Amino acid sequence: MTRVDVLSIFPELFPGPLGAGVVGRALERGLLSVQAHDLRDFTDDRHRQVDDTAFGGGPGMVLKPEPLLRAVRQFRAADPSARVILLSPQGRRLTQEVVRELAGEAHLVLVCGRYQGVDERAREEIGEELSIGDYVLSGGELAAMVVVEAVARLLPGTLGSQESLSDETFTESGFEPPLYTRPAVFEGREVPEVLRSGHHAEIERWRREQSREQMRRRRPDMVRDGATAGGV
């Protein structure tokens, strides 16, 4: 069972969308647990203060180090093997490869920033950062949900036969070949003959080629980075 602890000033956001679909089922089946913790529970003042103004001035607030590190140290003391990750735009980019790596962890602790960000001393002690993309969110919660969603799909038993990862093997780089379903003719546009031919080798070859073609056309940057369509 993969255990995920989430640290946030809005713990009520969880599980939220994670409660639906395949991830919801993984939670029900006990393949995954997602426990949200309120950062304010790690304060020791009666105002339960988690943020303060930035030294040196500037707009916005900064998450204080004490509540963050009180929480992180408590998680680490309880489980020294826990992988503690701060979600932030400056972090390592989340890719399917990183998701596979995280799916191998038994215990993830995801720290969600808010405001302008977190105090540098807390950030240093946390030690690892992940970004879901080069844009700025108001908080790390949605990024944490993206991580949990992507990891949960790789956990054995999460995807039923209908949603097997097998076809994803074909799109190691996340590039699906064109998909078609009934009707075979829609507004005069036919499903490619090869897909209705029953020739599985032909179909595999067509899909592999289409994946490459789609990647070349839509994500030339991935081609440059050597991502391989149908990567196996």
Site residues (vs ligand 4FV, CB under 6 A): 87-89, 113-115, 117, 131-133, 135-137, 139-140, 143
CB of 149 to ligand 4FV, least distance (A): 14
Strands (E), 12-168: 32-38, 51-53, 61-63, 83-93, 107-112, 129-131
Burial of 148 (0-12, 13-18, 19+ CB in 10 A): buried
Which residue lies nearer to ligand 4FV by CB, 5 or 141? 141
User: Largest alpha-carbon pair distance within the chain?
Assistant: 71
CB of 6 to ligand 4FV, least distance (A): 13
- How far CA 134 is from CA of 97, 99, 122, 224, in Å, comes to 18, 17, 22, 19
Which residue lies nearer to ligand 4FV by CB, 122 or 195? 122
User: Do β-strands 2-8 and 189-190 pair in parallel, antiparallel, or remain unpaired?
Assistant: unpaired
Which residue lies nearer to ligand 4FV by CB, 101 or 202? 101
CB of 145 to ligand 4FV, least distance (A): 11
Which residue lies nearer to ligand 4FV by CB, 131 or 173? 131
CB of 68 to ligand 4FV, least distance (A): 12
Position of minimal CB gap to ligand 4FV: 113
In which order are the strands placed within the sheet that holds 129-131?
Answer: 32-38, 2-8, 107-112, 83-93, 129-131
Which residue lies nearer to ligand 4FV by CB, 27 or 87? 87
CB of 170 to ligand 4FV, least distance (A): 28
